[in-house]
Each structure stands twice: as structure tokens, then as C-alpha cells.
Amino acid sequence: MKLSHLTLTLATTPLLSASPTPAYPHPSRSKYPGLDILAKRAGLLYFGTAIDNVVLNNTQYTSIAHNASEFGQVTPSNGQKWMYIEPARNVFNYSMGDAIVLPAIAHRQLRRCHNFVWHNQLPDWLTTGNWTKSELEGILENHIRHEAQHYYGECYAWDVVNEAFNDNGTLRSDIWLDTIGPEYIALAFRFARKYTRPGTKLYYNDYGIERINNKSLAVAAMVEDFLSREEPVPIDGVGLQAHFTAGTSPGYENITRVIEVFAEKGVETALTELDVRVKLPDSSEEMVQQAKDYADSVRACVDSESCVGVTVWDFWDTVSWVPDTFPGFGDACLWTANFTKKPAYYAISDVLRGD
């Protein structure tokens, strides 16, 4: 049974036992409560979605995105990244982040804020500057200070550092590592704790760590190092992005095992960017496999005491990042282009119901 999680505002209820579920919807399932309602009943803190600014003019989309019974948590997929928040040095623009965060507050949805530090989507002024170590440390602290204080108290959690490791477990060469050194990660977490509201969950977030491998073990070693220092580095969680391909996802056992590894190190986990892409054009067989992979991933979180929630990386195929990044693949989300719920949606519902 999943233990209740300490939260800022919400209580949870005991877990319903979970079991494998059929992939296709039964007519009676149209009467199911939303995914977030079911997730809370199953002992999770939330079931959430990422939202991108490019689709905020679509009222059908936003009515689902800010339906708190479906999604009790929201992540701005792009609007809080460095290139949009600080497009020029010491010039801050929060309009894109606010466009997602403010409606989420109004609809009483938790916010997972994303992200302070990444190697990607950085402004030219930052990447082309010839900074000294001390200069870049100052820029890093200044950025985190301003963004954290603007969203002070409005974020349940922050992805403090995103994708700092290579697949082989070494640290990624980027402006942060090459100029500051490996300690930039610990510095970012210390700055985040300094400027966010007490109780805000601070996460390291990455892809490809949903099974035991060189990368996930390197992240686990970092967590152990951070928490064992004389002055511990404040880290509360590890985000498993969970970008999968139908038929080759890690599966229930692998995801459960890696969650246990992070729990043993003393941090919570979450599936932070879940989607399951398929080869195009899709088929009924691929939809069955996609539903199974989604359901197995969610079930692994539900069955693990330290996994607090699941976020899908948007829910509507039309705005998925997948086709542009993985040519020939797509249809990775829970709603089709015409806003029809897929078999994967109902498979997740069944897992959360314990059917």
C-alpha cells in the first residue's frame, strides 16, 4: 500500500490494488472520473500534464488542460525556460510562464515548474559570452533568484537541473560544466533552496533513467553524494522523464526497480514527461501496445511508495513534440487530433481504479 505523501495543500487516500487491464475502452468507462481524481484515490499526489503556449488560443484544448479533475497538476513545457525568462541579460519576461501558471492557480492545479538550468534553449547572450567561472556563477544565481522569487510559493516543485548527464553516466559538456565545473549542479540546488519558498520540492530531471543503467546509476550516485555531505545539498526528488516508444519501453519491472534505487538514496520520484510514441501511420495493434506501455508506467508509480505523481508531456497529439524530434513517429499522447480519448487513456484509468 502506498503511504500518504506530505503535500503543501492536498491529502491522499490509500492505494487500490492494481492489475493488468484491457487496452480498449468499454462504453461504461465514459462515466469514469478524471485521471487526477482517480490518481488521488490510488494514493498519488497528482496526475498532470505539460502545457505549451502555442495552443493557448484553442479553447477546447485549454478546457481540458485546466480541468482539474483530469489534471491536478500543470507544467509549463517551455514558458519558464531561460531563453524566454531572461532573453537579455538581467531583463526578465515572465509572460509565457504566467500564461500557464496563472490559469493553473485559478483552477487549483498544482504547478511543477520547469526549469532553472539546462544546456538547451539558452539565449545567445549567455552562450556566446566569454564568462569567467565567478561571472557565470553570478549569472546563474541571479537568474534563479529572479525566477524563483517571481514564482515564490506558486510552484509545488522545481526541476532545478535538467539533463546534466550523458547516457554513459558522464556529465554533459556544456556552458555550465565547461566554465564552472561539476559543482554547478550543487550550486544550482543551493541557490534554488535559498530563493524558493520553504517546502518547495527540488528535483533533478532527466531522460533515459527509467531503468538501471550507467546514467541512472550516475544520478543515484550524485544524489547519495549530495545528501551525505557535511552540509547536504538540498535535493528532494528525481524526475524520470519517461519518453518511450511503444513496444520498447522499460516496462513495469524496470521502472519499479529504478524508483526503488532512488528511494534508497532518500529522494522521491515522479514520472515527469510521460509519452509513448508510435511508428506512423499508427495501427490498432500499436494502440494496444501504447496503452499497455502507458498503463505499465503508471502502475509502476502507483505501486512505489516514493513515486508521487505522473505528468504526461502534453495530452493532445496535435501539439506533441515527437514528430519534429523523431521523424516517422508520433501519436504519442492520450487524446487524438480530434480530441478523442485513446485506449491508453482508459488503460491508465483502469490502473488507477485498481481494475
Q: What is the pLDDT of residues 202-235, one digit of tens each?
A: 999 999 999 999 999 999 999 999 999 999 999 9
**Partners of 310 in the beta sheet?**
47, 271
Task: Name the residues annotated as catalytic.
Answer: 163, 273
Q: Does a structural domain hold residue 126?
A: yes
Distance of CA 254 to the CA centre of its chain: 18
Residue 266 lies in a domain: yes
Single pTM value for the model: 0.91
Decide if 18 is inside a domain: no
Cα–Cα–Cα angle for 297, 299, 302, rounded to 5 degrees: 120
DSSP, res 55: G
Q: Is residue 13 part of a domain?
A: no
Strands 46-51 vs 307-312: parallel, antiparallel or unpaired:
parallel
pLDDT tens column, 250-280: 999 999 999 999 999 999 999 999 999 999 9
| Mean residue pLDDT across the chain | 92
Q: What residues make up the domain containing 176?
A: 27-353
Whether residue 316 lies inside any domain: the answer is: yes
The pLDDT > 70 percentage for the chain reads: 91
Inside any domain, residue 3: no
Does residue 20 lie within any of the structural domains?
A: no
**Within a domain: residue 16?**
no
Contact in structure between 191 and 183 (CB atoms under 8 Å): no
Question: At CB < 8 A and 24+ separation, what contacts does 52-61 make?
Answer: 52/76, 52/77, 52/78, 52/79, 52/314, 52/319, 53/78, 53/79, 53/96, 53/99, 53/100, 54/319, 55/316, 55/318, 55/319, 56/99, 56/100, 60/339, 61/316, 61/319, 61/339
Place of cell 553570478: 138
**What is the count of structural domains for the chain?**
1
In sequence order, what are the residues at sequence separation of 6 or more whose Cβ sits closer than 8 angstroms to the Cβ of residue 317? 330, 331, 332, 333, 335, 336, 337
Each residue's pLDDT tens digit, 126-163: 999 999 999 999 999 999 999 999 999 999 999 999 99
CA atoms within 13 A on the CB side of 215: 17
CATH of the domain at 338: 3.20.20.80
φ and ψ at 326, to 5 degrees?
A: -125, 85
DSSP tag of 23: S
Count the alpha carbons within 13 Å of 181 in the hemisphere toward its beta carbon: 4
